A and B are shown apart, each in its own frame.
Chain A
């Protein structure tokens, strides 16, 4: 460790020489004074940030139950009563139900495809030695670092020529393709950590390569699949740029597009309460998922970033 090679620290106050663990709770006088001020300060900052994070969300939930007038005139007052009609109006008239359905369809298809194709490629790249293995690996993970927007213009015309523009299955294929870099990157290192002896045993028992993969390796890789699955689910659920460019048919709009559309058109009509109901509606599934699966979501999103 390099940092301990620094010159000896200046003589510490007397109290500091007792090991902290054995020190009585009151501690040395000087030290606890500094600690108190710092604690008040640090707690203050932490609380302020917590408020900054939670307030806008609570405020949106509150606004979704208010009338347009009271959102604008008394923004900080609680709703006089719960105006559930905002929610039903957003759900039916503003087509939130359709957007939800489209999103579930697109994300469901993409997620299954991403996990299946991603784990197949990662498995081969992680456990088989063949010429070009390294090249293909770097080809896949190289996609993580380049700006998607650059590929978007030609991609539009590739999709157009293939007749995939403005279609749900076209969008699914693109989502899968753009999710592969991280998925392959993450699952390749995951498959490398799994013991090879189990796969060998299965092979000796006469299982084919694909049978070994589907019945032995894939079940063993479940924790990795869950992590990368959560990561991809949130990414694909929240996708905005790809559908905006590749999916302009109003009937196929996904949630994020629908919300922007709602904000643009409702904004003119002044239906703020409907807009907030739509926003909260779109937030609820991920919010609920985060509260329930908090640990897994955090692990899934930060996986791959920490070694």
Chain B
């Protein structure tokens, strides 16, 4: 067994590790270094400026605005998405009563619902964003023409053009596209909860409310928690960037009302030619991400339930 073992290990690890180091690890380390420089990204020359970028960031209004939006996304998106998904999953798996002589079962047609709800998850966020950009179009989009058709002509919001509404529109799209994933994920989790628990609760006369909060949620907590982290990373990362970049005017507008941290990093680096400062904002984003994960882990820590 030992013959040629190390040669094999090195041979098999070399290519993946090299690729990973060059394209992921190295840029990541470099970005922290660049955050202390005044590099424009356009010329190869730059010098160290110490913490200048960091103090500039703390005085940057747009940075604070995008931070605020990112934090809002991180708080609201998981709450709405996971809340809806839990409700749907509970209805689909435990909500039905007295069918096939089983104490607990899903409502009728739950298999169909699961297939349909998961649909948006396979579509790219670009396609979803483009679709909804049109739906939100104030003059002839799907939403406003529906309002017109059912006689609510007075309600014609400007959706993505309204600074108060725009970010919530983006959020709605992200919820729309991710709820189905969690419905399926939570369904799988609920399926592994022993039926006896539900039957016992039913015998005790527990309502659906009690059943959900006393049995389903505590036993599903681990899955909910990892879903929470996943949703948060999505809200701070690529998905939020893409939907804001594709859907909103500017992008990030109107009047910076939808700019999120990753978008601001992108614009500072590739539009404004301030690569050094952009990586500083990126470090800010990293800190927010880490803090978020740490908080969720800490808040979510509970006694492990074994079954």
B64 at the interface (CB under 8 A from A): no
- Residue from the list A158, A173, A234 in contact with B26, Cβ < 8 A: A158
B window 116-171: CB within 8 A of A: 116-127, 130-135, 140, 142, 145-146, 149
Minimum Cβ distance to chain A for residue B13 (Å): 6
Given contacts A19-B203, A150-B31, contact A143 B24 (CB under 8 A): yes
> Is there contact, CB below 8 Å, between B17 and A20?
no
> Which residues of chain B in 1-43 are interfacial with respect to chain A, using CB atoms and an 8 Å cutoff?
1, 4-6, 8-9, 11-13, 15-17, 19-20, 22-28, 30-31, 34, 41
Inter-subunit contact A153/B278 (CB<8 Å): yes
Q: Check if B269 is an interface residue, CB within 8 A of chain A.
A: yes
Q: Is the CB of B116 within 8 A of A50?
A: yes
Assuming the A-B contacts A45-B91, A153-B275, A306-B185, are A121 and B117 also in contact, with contact meaning beta carbons closer than 8 angstroms in the complex? no
Residue pair B11, A210 in contact (C-beta under 8 Å): yes
Check B282 against A76 for contact (C-beta < 8 Å).
no
Q: Whole-angstrom distance from the CB of A268 to the nearest CB of chain B?
A: 14
B289 A128 Cβ-Cβ under 8 A: no
Residues of B near A19 (CB, < 8 A) are: 103, 199, 203
B19 CB to closest chain A CB (Å) equals: 5
- Chain B residues contacting A154 (CB-CB under 8 Å) are 26-28, 30-31, 34, 279
Q: Min CB distance, A207 to chain B, in Å?
A: 11
Q: Chain A's nearest CB lies how many Å from the CB of B273? A: 11
Cα distance A147–B303 when bound, in Å?
30
Give bound CA distance, A42 to B226, whole Å.
26
What is the interface residue range for chain A against chain B? Answer: 35 or more
Cross-interface CB contact of B279 among A1, A117, A150, cutoff 8 Å:
A150
Choose among A118, A259, A307 the residue that contacts B16 (Cβ–Cβ < 8 A). Answer: A118
Q: When the two chains form the complex, which single residue of B124, B133, B180, B278 contacts A238, counting CB atoms closer than 8 Å?
A: B124
Looking at B130, B210, B223, B242, the one whose CB has the most chain A CB atoms below 10 A away is B130
Question: Are B278 and A209 in contact, with the CB atoms below 8 A?
Answer: no
A3 engages B218 (CB within 8 Å): yes
Cβ-defined partner of A53 (8 Å) among B16, B117, B146, B203:
B117
Does A302 sit within 8 A of B, measured CB to CB? yes
Whether a CB of chain A sits under 8 angstroms from the CB of B230 is yes
> Given the complex, which residues of B lie within 8 Å of A104, measured CB to CB?
none
User: Interface on chain B toward A: helix, strand, loop, or mixed SS?
Assistant: helix
| Contact A306:B28 (CB < 8 A) given known A4-B200, A177-B19 | no
A residues within 8 A CB of B51? Answer: none
A53-B120, A118-B16 known; A259+B205 contact, CB < 8 A = no
A153 near B31: Cβ-Cβ < 8 Å: yes
Report if A21-B102 is in contact (Cβ < 8 Å); known contacts: A282-B127, A301-B121.
yes
Cβ–Cβ contact A158 & B9, under 8 A: no
CB <8 Å contact, A17 and B203 = yes
Contacts A13-B205, A147-B237 hold; do A210 and B8 have CB atoms under 8 A apart? yes
Which residue of the partner chain, among B8, B19, B84, B282, contacts A209 with CB atoms under 8 Å?
B8
B80 contacts partner chain A, Cβ-Cβ < 8 Å = no
Provided the pairs A1-B305, A75-B140, A180-B20 are in contact, do residues A27 and B98 lie with their beta carbons within 8 angstroms? yes
Report whether A145 and B289 are in contact in the complex, using a CB–CB cutoff of 8 Å. Answer: yes
> Does B34 lie within 8 Å of A9, measured CB to CB?
no
Question: Beyond A59-B142, A158-B23, is A123–B12 a contact (Cβ under 8 Å)?
Answer: yes
A residues engaging B (CB < 8 A)? 1-4, 6, 8-13, 16-17, 19-21, 23, 25, 27, 34-35, 38-39, 42-43, 45-46, 49-50, 52-54, 56-57, 59-60, 71-73, 75-76, 117-118, 120-121, 123-124, 128, 130, 136, 139-140, 143, 145-158, 173-174, 176-178, 180-181, 184, 200, 203, 208-210, 213, 234, 237-241, 244-245, 255-256, 259-260, 263, 272, 275, 279, 282-283, 286-287, 289-290, 294, 297-298, 301-302, 305-307
The 8 lowest CB-CB distance pairs between A and B, nearest first, are A12-B205, A238-B124, A177-B23, A150-B282, A209-B8, A154-B27, A154-B30, A151-B27
Footprint of A on B, CB under 8 Å? 1, 4-6, 8-9, 11-13, 15-17, 19-20, 22-28, 30-31, 34, 41, 84, 87-88, 91-92, 95-98, 101-103, 107-108, 112-113, 115-127, 130-135, 140, 142, 145-146, 149, 176, 179-181, 184-185, 188-189, 197, 199-200, 202-208, 210, 214-215, 218-219, 222-223, 226-227, 230, 233, 236-238, 241-242, 245-246, 262, 265-266, 269-270, 275, 278-279, 282-283, 285-286, 289, 293, 303, 305-307
Could you show 30 A-B contacts with beta carbons less than 8 Å apart? A1-B306, A11-B205, A20-B103, A38-B208, A52-B176, A71-B140, A121-B12, A139-B20, A146-B289, A147-B285, A148-B237, A148-B238, A150-B285, A150-B286, A152-B266, A153-B34, A153-B275, A174-B23, A178-B24, A180-B19, A203-B1, A213-B12, A234-B122, A239-B124, A240-B242, A241-B241, A255-B124, A259-B130, A290-B122, A298-B118
